[in-house]
Amino acid sequence: MSDSSINLDELRQRIDQLDGDILRLISERADCAQKVAHVKLADDKDAVFYRPEREAQVLRRIMSLNKGPLDSEEMARLFREIMSACLALEQPIKVAYLGPEGTFTQQAALKHFGESAISLPMAAIDEVFREVEAGAVNYGVVPVENSTEGVVNHTLDTFMDSSIHICGEVVLRIHHHLLISDTTRRDKISRIYSHPQSFGQCRKWLDAHYPHAERVPVSSNAEAAKLVKTEWHSAAIAGDMAAKLYGLERIADKIEDRPDNSTRFLIIGNQRVPMAGEDKTSIVVAMRNQPGALHDLLEPFHRHKIDLTRIETRPSRTGVWNYVFFIDFKGHVDEPRVAAVLEEVKLRASELRVLGSYPQGVL
């Protein structure tokens, strides 16, 4: 036996030993999480097991303790799955997302809740809201903005008619591929299906490579992938999940125009989330239609040194909502300086609603 084979045997023995230790520790952890669930139930029979703020703290702590060689995001992803499995022991979490299966929104849902969550596809954003409001699912996941294409107006508009809370956010790097099926004639592609947002994110690439192909907008990338299965002259632009789900081949990889292309999704629910430490708050504010309204609205944030991360204007749909602004900022409503700003804004606005305070996306 050579030296290297002795080493290999020793190393494998060591790995077996470590796996045994990891197994024992994960089981012990799962036991603890189950006990936490029983404590929660003893306090309140309608207790919510899932705690977004606690999960964010667990993941942030793991990332800060990690010394490598695995990188911190990778390590946090492993812990994300351990927590997801622990939680599912008590009650698997049910999550509605903007479907069909294979969309980036499903990918975002699984990234946030882990693979042990039960994810249920909905046909439209309003349906995701309705399922959550009705209590048919625990949470919903909807897209809200893309770094290339901007805001998803429909999501913002739906918030205006809903009493739902934002419980979290998740940001996903979006990679698009050009996909074909085994019946597609790759030299005869005359039609490309995709979601309008994805066409927007791949515009330059399409102009350069398929300037004459007809671009047909459909309701989702997964729908585009499905259509390609039945047409020999068509291709689709979609992500990995849809490609795998429908067994399509990637003929061009990562065709998005900007390499940092990412989409932010919101987690919606019926729960108010306590402070996690690094939080964000989203509000919707209506101002009266008068000169200086936007300045009046933003001035208190500036004075209290609150960091705005986003502001969007949407047309009003009622007399009261003259100008409607969606504002995201760093901080939690339970912090005194945030409470002070909101008090001031309330005096200046014709309507103010806090959509939620939630942990900033960790993964």
Ligand X SMILES: C=C(O[C@@H]1C=C(C(=O)O)C=C[C@H]1O)C(=O)O
Regarding 86 and contact with ligand X (CB under 6 A), the answer is yes
Number of residues forming the site for ligand X (CB under 6 A): 11
CB of 81 to ligand X, least distance (A): 11
Of residues 56 through 75, those in contact with ligand X by CB under 6 A are 58
The residue range among 79-87, 222-230, 232-240, 268-276 that interacts with ligand X, by the rule CB under 6 A, is: 79-87
Is the Cβ of residue 55 or residue 145 nearer to ligand X in the bound state?
55
The residue range among 81-89, 136-144, 167-175, 329-337 that interacts with ligand X, by the rule CB under 6 A, is: 81-89
Is the Cβ of residue 95 or residue 349 nearer to ligand X in the bound state?
95
Regarding 139 and contact with ligand X (CB under 6 A), the answer is no
Is the Cβ of residue 62 or residue 160 nearer to ligand X in the bound state?
62
> What is the length of the chain?
363
Is the Cβ of residue 139 or residue 210 nearer to ligand X in the bound state?
139
Q: Among 56, 59, 76, 87, which residue interacts with ligand X (rule: CB under 6 A)?
A: 87
Of residues 19 through 58, those in contact with ligand X by CB under 6 A are 33, 36, 49-51, 54-55, 58
Is the Cβ of residue 33 or residue 285 nearer to ligand X in the bound state?
33
Is the Cβ of residue 89 or residue 227 nearer to ligand X in the bound state?
89
d(CA 192, CA 182): 16
Residue of 193, 269, 176 lying closest to 233 (CA atoms): 193
CB of 50 to ligand X, least distance (A): 4
CB of 60 to ligand X, least distance (A): 12
Is the Cβ of residue 53 or residue 145 nearer to ligand X in the bound state?
53
Is the Cβ of residue 48 or residue 218 nearer to ligand X in the bound state?
48
Burial class (CB in 10 A: 0-12, 13-18, 19+), 48: middle
Kindly state the tokens that stand for 125: 């954003």
Regarding 83 and contact with ligand X (CB under 6 A), the answer is yes
Is the Cβ of residue 50 or residue 325 nearer to ligand X in the bound state?
50
CB of 89 to ligand X, least distance (A): 9
The residue range among 83-91, 122-130, 176-184, 305-313 that interacts with ligand X, by the rule CB under 6 A, is: 83-91
Dihedrals phi, psi of 212, to nearest 5 degrees? -100, -5
CB of 131 to ligand X, least distance (A): 20
The DSSP bridge partners found for residue 266 are 142, 169
Task: Give me the half-sphere count of Cα atoms (radius 13 Å) on the Cβ side of residue 141.
Answer: 30
Q: HEC string of the chain?
A: CCHHHHHHHHHHHHHHHHHHHHHHHHHHHHHHHHHHHHHHHHHCCCCCCCCHHHHHHHHHHHHHHCCCCCCHHHHHHHHHHHHHHHHHHHCCCEEEEECCCCCHHHHHHHHHHCCCCEEEEECCHHHHHHHHHCCCCCEEEEEEEECCCEECHHHHHHHHCCCCEEEEEEEEECCCEEEECCCCCHHHCCEEEECHHHHHHCHHHHHHHCCCCEEEECCCHHHHHHHHCCCCCEEEEECHHHHHHCCCEEEECCCCCCCCCEEEEEEEECCCCCCCCCEEEEEEEEECCCCCHHHHHHHHHHHCCCCEEEEEEEECCCCCCCEEEEEEEECCCCCHHHHHHHHHHHHHCCEEEEEEEEECCCC
The residue range among 61-69, 80-88, 272-280, 329-337 that interacts with ligand X, by the rule CB under 6 A, is: 80-88
CB of 48 to ligand X, least distance (A): 9
CB of 264 to ligand X, least distance (A): 22
CB of 56 to ligand X, least distance (A): 9
CB of 266 to ligand X, least distance (A): 18
Residue ranges that bind ligand X, judged by CB under 6 A: 33, 36, 49-51, 54-55, 58, 83, 86-87
